[in-house]
Amino acid sequence: MKKTISFIILFLFFHSSNAREGMWFPQLLEQLNETEMRQLGMKISAEDIYSVNKSSLKDAVVQFGGGCTGEIISERGLLITNHHCGFSQIQSLSSIENNLLKNGFWAMSDTAEIPVPGLTVTFVKEIVDVSSIILVDVSEDLNEQERSLIIKSKSDSIEKARTDGKNIKAFVRSFYSGNEYFLFITQVFRDIRFVGAPPVSVGKFGGETDNWLWPRHTGDFSLFRIYCDSLNLPADYSKNNVPYTSMKFLEINIEGVKENDFTFVYGFPGRTNEYLSASSLDLIYSQTNPNKIKIREERLNIWRTDMNSNDTIYLKYAPRFKTLANYYKKWRGENLGLKSFNVVEQKKRYESKINAESNGMAQPILDNIEAVNERLKPLSYNSDFFVDGLLGIEIAGLSQKFTKLITLSQSDTTSKEVLNKELERLKADYRGFHKNYSKKTDRKICLAMLNLADKHLSQEYKPAFYSNLKNENDIEEYTDRLFDGSLLTDTSSMMKYLSAFKKRKIKRVLTDKVYLFGKEITGVSKLLNEKMAPLNIELGRLQRNYVSILRSVDKERKFYPDANSTLRVAYGNVKSMNPSDGKTYNFFTTTDGILEKIDNSNPDFEFPAGLEKLIRDKDFGAYGKNGSVPVAFLASNHTTNGNSGSPVLNAKGQLIGINFDRVWEGNMSDYFFDENTCRNIAMDMHYFLFVVEKYGKASRLIEEMKIIR
């Protein structure tokens, strides 16, 4: 009897959430999900979401840059994404004299919209299953190198056949740990302009304090516009380019969300690992996450102190601090969730079930995975203190910038033209590096990371310079020598050196303290990577075989592919939650909560006086509901990084919110999804429109949008 009860609990643990768990292929919704989505309340068809024969919602969803999602909200290519997704672009356009990040910005005409060099947005035109082509010559008796070469050759051939110059790009991605392959045909636009964003005190309201938590009151949005040539095709920046005419744009619905309303999220989720074995997950839970949390906490404390004391340093480091702090807190919440649900032990029980149902086929694979992880563990431990520690010292990366110049200088056949081209590239690279660099701050980071690595690295993986560093005083003196006597850390001297460069002068770099410092660090890091590579390749092979067995044995489970920054749909409902005994999270927040949180003595809760006055005066325009403005809401959609900026759509496919976060208690959802605990957090469109129209006074943008009231 106990065995039966245990099995039922295990079954429910891995299957009860499947009704809403998952990040699904949009082109397969009709086959796999449409019936269930309709049962949950969806009013549109799967073809309305994804179609290659007519315009569909996919034509309004873009990958913003390389890591977020955005959506088109007007027929003139107006694009909305999160403020934190546009953060680095806004920072790059800012200066102390014209601080768009701090003050916000609203373009009051097309001509006032600011070009953003290097920014792209990508539309997905079509998704095609090419598994049968890719895997036709792949057999189990091939080793991993042979297998990879065949797959790469086939992928390259398919991609080349479907790529058309600069406009159409194609790429193949693997799914289910390499058991299936799909081709993505995309269109990439290269002239993107900044249109508007609120001050950072709105776009990041709550800061580190509220990050990953509920309730939230963040106006996490920014606006950009796609520009193109006269034929509506992608083009490099030109004053003659015109706003893109959208194939499809999203209607905005502000009727208001209610508990249990159907919602779905359409976007580019970054990375999940739902099918990892217990031993692989335990390595992350027990070692990798704690190491990274420890290291990043040291770096963040130093950055925070320097940034809060100096506006220039704040502007330089704001994007990196935001990214580092985000993952630092994510990993803390992730580990708490994994512990709370005892996920590692639950996975072990599930693996026993799978092994029994596969007649013992799974156990040898799982045993081999565990054995490889045991060999990987000490290497991975040391690698953590290189990747997040020593390589986090900014000057440690400078030696790599000179690799090509050194090679060219040591060759008798290098032409003057080639050498000059590399010198100009290096000058530009150096200017970019120092634009966002503080020598004073990096010196502090260097000292902290050298001390931390000294305590944790195995002796065999300590760079050679440690042989002369016996204690913390030695490390401090060494740090001072690095920063006080190096050509590489002096921008003015470096520019003069490069401008008057002769081949024989390369010796000055080769003997520079910082160059040698960085070379030793990267050398040991490379050695670790070389030792880890064959183990990771073997883990990949074993994981592929394990996932194959899972899908063939567990007939009750709906297997969606892990996220890998490709276009997906997740669906669920607007939902409140009870995260723990005696605690309830209502499904929405309003501007009343902003007034409760404002504290201008705390950088996380500073707030613009003008916007505060509008809220206190209840001057909400058309966007108030029941005496306040809705700011954010919760839903049970399965999301992850990369879903930042994704549209949250209602049953009719209309835009009701912009996804920007998850709740702390459900932060383990990259490895395990629980329907009762995992919630995505979205900014309500009421708040977006209120800020743009009433505070930003950018009515011209409101007039572009189609708003359902």
Is the Cα dihedral 43, 46, 49, 52 positive or negative?
Answer: negative
Which position has the token pair 């290098």?
414
Cis preceding-peptide flag for 561 (omega within 30 of 0): no
Choose among 87, 167, 173, 89: nearest CA to 129.
Answer: 173
Got the DSSP string for 156-212? HHHHHHH-BTTTEEEEEEEEGGGTEEEEEEEEEE-EEEEEEE--HHHHTTTHHHHTT
Given a contact cutoff of 8 angstroms between Cβ atoms, the answer to whether 658 and 683 are in contact is yes
Give the per-residue SS3 of 521-543: HHHHHHHHHHHHHHHHHHHHHHH
Instruction: State the angle between helix axes of 439-456 and 289-309 in degrees (0 to 180), rounded to the nearest 10.
Output: 160
Rg (C-alpha) for the chain, rounded Å, is: 27
What is the dihedral sign for C-alpha 71, 73, 77, 82? negative
Known catalytic membership, residue 220: yes
Q: 554 burial class (0-12, 13-18, 19+ CB within 10 angstroms)?
A: middle
**What 3-state class would DSSP assign to 367?**
helix
The residue annotated as part of the active site, out of 59, 191, 210, 220, is: 220
The helix-helix angle for 343-357 and 362-384 (nearest 10°) equals: 150
Q: Are 237 and 115 in contact (CB under 8 A)?
A: yes
**383: annotated active-site residue:** no
Task: Tell the burial category of 346 from Cβ atoms under 10 Å away from its Cβ (0-12, 13-18, 19+).
Answer: middle
- Tell me if 497 sits within 8 A of 491, measured CB to CB: no
Task: Tell me the C-alpha distance between 147 and 609, whole Å.
Answer: 61
User: 84 catalytic, yes or no?
Assistant: yes
CB-based contacts of 139, cutoff 8 Å, min separation 6: none
Length of the chain: 709
Q: φ and ψ at 180, to 5 degrees?
A: -140, 160
Select from 649, 673, 658, 636 the least CA-distant residue to 560: 673
**Helix axes of 472-484 and 439-456: crossing angle, nearest 10 degrees:** 150
Measured CA to CA, the distance from residue 454 to residue 475 in angstroms comes to 9
**Active-site position among 222, 409, 486, 644:** 644
CA-based end-to-end distance of the chain: 57
Given the residues 59, 74, 83, 84, the one annotated as active site = 84
Please state, in angstroms and rounded to a whole number, the distance separating the CA atoms of residues 619 and 591: 12
DSSP class per residue in 559-593: -PPPPSSS-EEEEEEB--EEEETTEEE-SEEEHHH
Q: Which residues pair with 571 in a beta bridge?
A: 264
Q: What does the alpha-carbon distance between residue 498 and residue 434 come to, in Å, rounded to a whole number?
A: 15
Backbone angles phi, psi at 603, to 5 degrees: -55, -30
CA distance 568 to 41: 19
Round to whole Å and give the CA distance between 697 and 709.
20
User: What gap in Å lies between CA 673 and CA 699, rounded to an integer?
Assistant: 41
Which residues carry out catalysis?
84, 220, 644
